[in-house]
Amino acid sequence: MILSSLVFVPLLGMIIVMCLPKDKFNAIRWTSLLVSLIPMFASFWLTWDYFFNYSGSAAFAYVVGPYNWIPSLNIQYYMGVDGISIPMLFLTGLLSTLSLLASFGINNRVKEYFAFFLLLEAGMMGVFVALDFFLFYVFWEVMLVPMYFLIGVWGGPRKEYAAIKFFLYTLFGSIFMLVAILIMYFTSEPHSLNMVTLLDHGPMMSHTLQMVCFIFFFIAFAIKVPVWPFHTWLPDAHVEAPTAVSVILAGVLLKMGTYAMLRINWPMFPQALRELSFWIAVLGVIAIIYGALVSMAQKDLKKLVAYSSVSHMGYCMMALAAVSSVSAIAGCMFQMVSHGLITGALFVLVGVLYDRAHTREIAAFGGLGAKVPVYTGIMVLFSMAALGLPGMSGFVSEFMIFVGAFGALNKVLVGISVLGVVLGATYMLRMVQNVFLGEFNMARWGGLTDINLREIISVAPLAVLTVVIGVYPKPLTQLMTATLEHLVSLMAR
């Protein structure tokens, strides 16, 4: 029940917002914020309750259904959560609300913006709770449309290009997923779209078809992650999207790819996975190094953060390739959460700067540390978190990933990937140095104001969580240990 509400409350909110008069900006803003508080607190409560009551077993909790939705196609309305979806729900709930808060500066076509945003939230929530393939696919696609409009209407100068690119890319991927889903459906006996039974049974198809399905699913999810070389939509979309949308893109949408791999791709095709895991790891390592190197060459602040996402999600891919290691997979989950928090916050902060300075060119700044000390402090904090400083969540995840991957994968490969740590430090510090340190251009930036309270509120929870997870990650591991063990055992079939 509560899972359905996660999806339908934002939908309802969207309808309410659409009914509000167009020019009542504040009413629209506050309504949507209040609406989004409901799924947020629901997801918090879920996390809390799951932690204490369900985290001991790998079974799905709070199961809704399965109700027959379209019985003639065996499509069910079936939802449930386990240890890997709970953290994602938490992240989605939190980031949605915070991004809505960060969107209060939108003054252009406010009503549409917030309506689309709530629709987006519904889709995201749905992806993480759906246990039926069809339902999953529906939510997966439903997000695309609001995202297309959010980038296309409220985006930057090249918004139209970025929006259509995002849409085409992801649709391209998901259409592969559709084919794979259909193949799975018709090869299973009895025909089923129920993820749980399909998981339990394992693939019931020939080896070739398994490989085909695996690759199709992989392409679909890899585009979302994005795995090199499918990543080129990401910088465009991130850079052109309005701040809050970039936050959602980085914080939640990218996670869907890895989440779906962990939920569908990996445990359902263990054999194909084992045959391909080396190449997946190679892709991951390429993404790590490549993303970091490309970040280093960026002149645009937001692009730098965008490419750093490529690099960070590369860690996730490498971890996912280390299928036999619980710690690597757990590290991947950690990385998903921490990347969501950190990069989300970085995008908010870049947006804060952009709102004031109307440029994001790194070279245009310098020495801002003296002028806007609070902003600088927060930004440096998150930069440090992004480069994997201990005491922050990023470090824990990277460490777990490396240790796990080092044991499970080719050691040279992992050794190369460790270079990403230094490169990560390099581009982050270069950014910090060029923007905040050095000489201050009084004539140009003399009028810059420091971060305001609303903006602080919208990043403060992220900062707190980043540090809390970095200092005391145990609850998060406990939350998902049982599920991960179960998943690893499925992958070992």
Residue numbers 116-175 binding another protein by CB under 8 A: 134, 137-138, 141-142, 144-145, 148-149, 152-153, 159-160, 163-165, 167-169, 171-172, 175
Give yes or no for residue 364 binding another protein (CB under 8 A): no
Query: Are 111 and 18 within 8 A, CB to CB?
Result: yes
The binder of another protein chosen from 54, 113, 128, 176 (CB under 8 A)? 176
Smallest separation (angstroms) from another protein to the CB of 79: 15
The Cα 87–Cα 10 span in angstroms is 19
Give the CA dihedral 294, 306, 219, 263, nearest 10 degrees: 130
| DSSP-derived pairing of the beta strands 61-70 and 75-81 | antiparallel
Nearer to another protein, 53 or 72 (CB): 72
Nearer to another protein, 56 or 391 (CB): 391
The binder of another protein chosen from 354, 367, 448, 467 (CB under 8 A)? 367
The Cα 435–Cα 184 span in angstroms is 51
Residue numbers 258-287 binding another protein by CB under 8 A: none
Nearer to another protein, 95 or 238 (CB): 238
Count Cβ neighbours within 10 Å for each residue of 234-260 and write b for 16 or more, e otherwise.
Answer: bbbbbbbbbbbbbbbbbbbbbbbbbbb
Give yes or no for residue 485 binding another protein (CB under 8 A): yes
Give yes or no for residue 439 binding another protein (CB under 8 A): yes
Query: Are 286 and 294 within 8 A, CB to CB?
Result: no
The Cα 326–Cα 489 span in angstroms is 10
Distance of CA 317 to the CA centre of its chain: 13
Query: Are 277 and 314 within 8 A, CB to CB?
Result: no
Smallest separation (angstroms) from another protein to the CB of 119: 12
Nearest Cα neighbor of 491 from 331, 191, 285, 272 is 272
Residue numbers 341-360 binding another protein by CB under 8 A: none
Nearer to another protein, 63 or 205 (CB): 205
Q: How far apart are the first and last CA of the chain?
A: 33
Nearer to another protein, 60 or 185 (CB): 185
The Cα 183–Cα 159 span in angstroms is 36
Smallest separation (angstroms) from another protein to the CB of 199: 20
Q: Tokens at residue 228, please? A: 């090199």
Smallest separation (angstroms) from another protein to the CB of 41: 27
Smallest separation (angstroms) from another protein to the CB of 275: 21
DSSP-based three-state secondary structure for 130: strand
Nearer to another protein, 275 or 300 (CB): 300
Q: In which element (H, E) is residue 438 found?
A: none
Residue numbers 192-231 binding another protein by CB under 8 A: 205, 209, 229, 231
Give yes or no for residue 105 binding another protein (CB under 8 A): no
Nearer to another protein, 48 or 472 (CB): 472
Give yes or no for residue 369 binding another protein (CB under 8 A): yes
Query: Are 424 and 308 within 8 A, CB to CB?
Result: yes
Smallest separation (angstroms) from another protein to the CB of 182: 4
Which range, of 43-51, 243-251, 257-265, 391-399, touches another protein by CB under 8 A? 391-399
Smallest separation (angstroms) from another protein to the CB of 142: 6
The Cα 152–Cα 226 span in angstroms is 20
The binder of another protein chosen from 211, 389, 467, 490 (CB under 8 A)? 389
Nearer to another protein, 95 or 484 (CB): 484
Residue numbers 399-438 binding another protein by CB under 8 A: 399-400, 402-404, 406-407, 414-415, 418-419, 421-423, 425-426, 429-430, 433, 436-438
Give yes or no for residue 27 binding another protein (CB under 8 A): no
Q: In which element (H, E) is residue 68 found?
A: strand 61-70
The Cα 96–Cα 88 span in angstroms is 12
Rg (CA), the chain: 21
Give yes or no for residue 440 binding another protein (CB under 8 A): yes
Q: If 0-12 CB within 10 Å is exposed, 13-18 middle and 19+ buried, where does residue 191 land?
A: exposed
Nearer to another protein, 326 or 451 (CB): 326
Quick note: the x/- pattern for another protein over 289-328, rule CB under 8 A, is -x--xx-xxx---------------------------xx-
Nearer to another protein, 4 or 481 (CB): 481
Angle separating helix axes 85-102 and 2-19, nearest 10 degrees:
20
Task: Map tokens 């585009």 to a residue.
Answer: 223
Nearer to another protein, 257 or 388 (CB): 388
Residue numbers 48-87 binding another protein by CB under 8 A: 69-73
438 Cβ contact list (under 8 Å, min separation 6) = 366, 367
Q: How many residues bind another protein (CB under 8 A)?
A: 95
Task: Map tokens 């581009």 to a residue.
Answer: 427
Smallest separation (angstroms) from another protein to the CB of 391: 6
Nearest Cα neighbor of 16 from 93, 115, 89, 102 is 115
Give yes or no for residue 253 binding another protein (CB under 8 A): no
Nearer to another protein, 50 or 406 (CB): 406
Smallest separation (angstroms) from another protein to the CB of 373: 8
